[in-house]
Amino acid sequence: MLSWVLAATLMGQDVRAWQGLHEGLLMEAADGELNEAVAWYEGWIAGLPADDPSQAELHYWLGRAEYAQGDYEASRKALLIAMNDPTVRLQAQVLLGQMDAQELQVRRLPVAYDFTTGTGHFLHSWLYPDKGRIRSELPPQSDNPALAWRTLVLDREDDAIEIWFDPALEGPRHIEFRAHAKEFRALLVLAADDDKGRRYIYPEPIVAPVDDWVLVTADLSSFVLQDTGGLAEGHMTPGTVVSLSLWDRTAFGATSRGENVIYLDDMELR
């Protein structure tokens, strides 16, 4: 507690706000007191000027408490306010990403996507909030929309998109899709996480070319436990997948740098 007070004093913040935040955290730690913690945070937020430096962190912890009690709409509103402050932005992004993943979970298989009206159940990874985005759009010289993943290739940096499955659902056993890149060829890695938190990767190299589409078709049973080279022994057990992710690893295997768009289309999970 003393370190919090000292930090608040040095930063010119209202020590009382930090004390209020600490009291709210103590309430959260006690069983059955989330409602009281939410009311406590709301009271402090209302009692402080809108430009008080403590507002962002108070909103983060308010959003966290509301998320814990299942009020996702209120939590989202609080976390979006917290996103304005770099000191808690990453934590807020993590919770927002968790909510997005829960809301967009695949709940029935098989499922197919032509991305005509949207990006389906796909999300851009919260790990790279400022790196890229996804939307449905027409690829160059095409009349059929596809998922367009806009990304920025920088030295020693990757990017990812992902799709999550309802825990009650037996995960997919097969995936198929087409891929194409706009500015320069993209080097991609297809990964799957199982219900024990282990990550497996598709061992075949995936290169999305600029001048054509490549067809990717893979059985999840061929995925190998991730290691330094993806060559560790142990294959994925079909049906245990909780999430699939596609990683742009161009920065680690090619010299191209800058903005790129990776298009995905005609995807099927079964």
Domain ranges in the chain? 2-103, 111-269
Give the DSSP H or E segment for 216.
Answer: strand 214-219
Helix (H, G, I), strand (E, B) or coil at 72: helix
Q: State residue 63's pLDDT score.
A: 86
Fold of 2-103: 1.25.40
Query: If 0-12 CB within 10 Å is exposed, 13-18 middle and 19+ buried, where does residue 233 land?
Result: exposed
Query: If 0-12 CB within 10 Å is exposed, 13-18 middle and 19+ buried, where does residue 32 land?
Result: exposed
Spans of the chain, pLDDT less than 50:
1-13, 15-18, 20, 22, 26, 29-31, 228, 230
Q: State residue 32's pLDDT score.
A: 53
Helix (H, G, I), strand (E, B) or coil at 118: coil
The share of the chain scoring above pLDDT 70, in percent, equals: 85
Mean pLDDT estimate for the chain:
84
Q: State residue 229's pLDDT score.
A: 52
CA atoms of 176 and 270, how far apart (whole Å): 9
Q: State residue 28's pLDDT score.
A: 52
CA atoms of 228 and 156, how far apart (whole Å): 15
Q: State residue 228's pLDDT score.
A: 47
pTM value is 0.72
Fold of 111-269: Jelly Rolls (2.60.120)
Q: State residue 4's pLDDT score.
A: 37
